[in-house]
Amino acid sequence: MRKSTAPLLITRGLSKYYHGKTTVHAVRKVDLRVYPGDFVVILGPSGSGKSTLLTMLGGLERPSLGSIQLGDVVYHHLEEGELTELRQQKLGFVFQYFNLLNSLSAAENVALPLRLLPLTEREIEERALSMLEQVGLKERAHHLPAQLSGGEQQRVALARALVHEPELVLADEPTGNLDSKNAALIKELLVRLNTEKQQTLIIVSHDASFRKLANRVVYMSDGEIDRIEVKARGAD
């Protein structure tokens, strides 16, 4: 079955070099294929290039070498404005430090990606609230981030990453700043998204317990992919 499905994301020779006093090869020649519905977890020690790889996949940083293709769009052909549009329409981001806007309520934060779509104010509000309900935070819709716990803020961030139904969700250490109970809640939400909605996910972590959730595990060290493990979701 897999053979007949086209990959959603393909990288070829993807590399990032930082030039300073010495040149840092943060990511070297990464060839990766991600299929629709995949739950990919990228594991590796601190400094192995995970975040650099993810920011390139997210179109937030340009590669030094190599290419990234999402569907039929090849990133490096895009102008800055087109790249922004691609990010806004096709991608959802979750970061370690939540990155919510402090002056906006939970619902207003979740609504942000919808403001770029041709929707009425009422539709925007309904979709934002429905998304907050799915992460169990409907009652907190009008709270500011400062009035929410870290775990709640991350659930708001997850709702914001999903509300515009992106093709691909990218998360960098999404539980890195949470206690184990809240981390488990975020993991549960990610699993549900993947199994119930076939949402394609790429999660970066140094937390090996993410491995169990994935159907594809990418092991990185020193900027390179050491190996890719294909496994059943939920299996050890």
Ligand X SMILES: Nc1ncnc2c1ncn2[C@@H]1O[C@H](COP(=O)(O)OP(=O)(O)O)[C@@H](O)[C@H]1O
Interface residues toward ligand X, by CB under 6 A: 18, 24, 26, 44, 46-52
Residue 60 CB, nearest approach to ligand X (Å) = 12
Residue 54 CB, nearest approach to Mg ion (Å) = 8
Q: What residues are paired with 218 via a beta bridge?
A: 42, 228
DSSP state of 61: S
CB nearer to ligand X: pick between 25 and 33: 25
CB nearer to ligand X: pick between 107 and 218: 218
Alpha helix ranges (H) inside the chain: 50-57, 80-90, 106-111, 121-134, 150-162, 180-197
What mask of x and - would describe binding to Mg ion in positions 55 to 74, judged by CB under 5 A?
A: --------------------
The two structure tokens encoding residue 125: 């509000």
Amino acid at 55: T
Residue 64 CB, nearest approach to ligand X (Å) = 12
Residue 48 CB, nearest approach to ligand X (Å) = 4
Residue 232 to residue 214: CA distance in whole angstroms: 7
Residue 100 to residue 132: CA distance in whole angstroms: 14
Q: Which of these, 92, 89, 81, 76, lies nearest to 203 by C-alpha position?
A: 92
51 binds Mg ion (CB under 5 A): yes
CB nearer to Mg ion: pick between 51 and 154: 51
Kindly write down the DSSP assignment for every residue of 105-165, as one continuous string: -HHHHHHGGGGGSS--HHHHHHHHHHHHHHTT-GGGTT--GGGS-HHHHHHHHHHHHHTT-
CB nearer to ligand X: pick between 17 and 35: 17
**Contact stretch for Mg ion (CB under 5 A) within 46-54, 75-83, 141-149, 191-199:** 46-54
Task: Count the site residues for Mg ion by CB under 5 A.
Answer: 1
Residue nearest to Mg ion (CB): 51
CB nearer to ligand X: pick between 36 and 176: 176
Residue numbers at the binding site for Mg ion (CB under 5 A)? 51
